[in-house]
């Protein structure tokens, strides 16, 4: 049975409100106006350092390590204020677990923060591993980040589920099937497209049938 690897932000959880709130508090503290939801959504997906760089860059300012540290400290203290799993995600994970799929998370978010959020939302019991953007020297779209997640669960192949081109590109780099989540923060195309989380189990079942044996 093929394992299933999930992205986190924009795929499993709607974390934009808490990310944006923490980012804007740091921006305001340094004399800049807060960014809109649309602006921040377009900056999410490449890890915290790039997010902070893009946010300050929007005002023509180069971000510093102090800016990043301030964001991480604020966000980690307020990561699950408004953040929730997308409607239908818990049901999809429960179905996949019942069918015997091993599952893991591969995210560009720092691993400790990702694991803490999953735990506070009661999602941690579904996943055998959580590989973050600081778990390896690589981050999605580098396929080596996804390969490290496969290794963490002892798998040679898996289905990648995500909402960003980084997820789809990482999967393509390893010639893995993928499911693009249309409800998230990015735009991309995968082997299959899910319009809502409840469609994931059926799409996984299709890909299991069509994936060539190793």
Instruction: Kindly report whether the peptide bond that precedes residue 201 is cis, defined as omega within 30 degrees of 0.
Output: no
* Active-site annotation holder among 7, 9, 18, 169: 7
CB-CB neighbours of 98 under 10 Å: 9
Q: Which long-range contacts (CB under 8 A, 24 or more apart) does 58-62 make?
A: 59/27, 59/32, 61/30, 61/32
**Phi, psi (degrees; rounded to nearest 5) at 96:** -65, -40
The Cα–Cα gap between 120 and 116 comes to 6
7 belongs to the catalytic site: yes
- Determine contact, residues 123/93, Cβ cutoff 8 Å: yes
The span from the first CA to the last CA of the chain, in angstroms, equals 12
- Determine contact, residues 32/42, Cβ cutoff 8 Å: no
CA distances from 107 to 41, 44, 84, 89, 141 (A): 16, 11, 17, 17, 10
The catalytic residues are: 7
């Amino acid at each position: 049975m093929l394992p299933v690897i999930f992205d986190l932000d924009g795929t499993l959880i709607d974390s934009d409100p808490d990310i944006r709130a923490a980012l804007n508090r740091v921006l305001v503290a340094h004399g800049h106006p807060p960014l809109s939801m649309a602006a921040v959504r377009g900056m999410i997906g490449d890890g915290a350092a790039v997010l902070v760089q893009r946010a300050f860059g929007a005002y023509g300012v180069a971000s510093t390590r102090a800016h990043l540290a301030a964001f991480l400290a604020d966000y980690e203290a307020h990561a699950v204020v408004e953040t929730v799993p997308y409607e239908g995600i818990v049901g999809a994970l429960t179905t996949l677990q019942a069918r015997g799929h091993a599952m893991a998370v591969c995210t560009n978010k720092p691993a400790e923060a990702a694991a803490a959020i999953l735990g506070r939302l009661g999602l941690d019991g579904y996943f055998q591993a959580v590989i973050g953007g600081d778990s390896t020297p690589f981050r999605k779209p580098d396929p080596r980040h996804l390969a490290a997640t496969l290794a963490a669960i002892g798998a040679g192949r898996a289905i990648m589920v995500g909402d960003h081109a980084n997820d789809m590109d990482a999967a393509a780099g390893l010639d893995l099937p993928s499911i693009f989540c249309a409800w998230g923060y990015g735009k991309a195309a995968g082997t299959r497209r899910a319009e809502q989380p409840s469609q994931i189990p059926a799409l996984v079942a299709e890909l299991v049938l069509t994936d060539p044996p190793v």
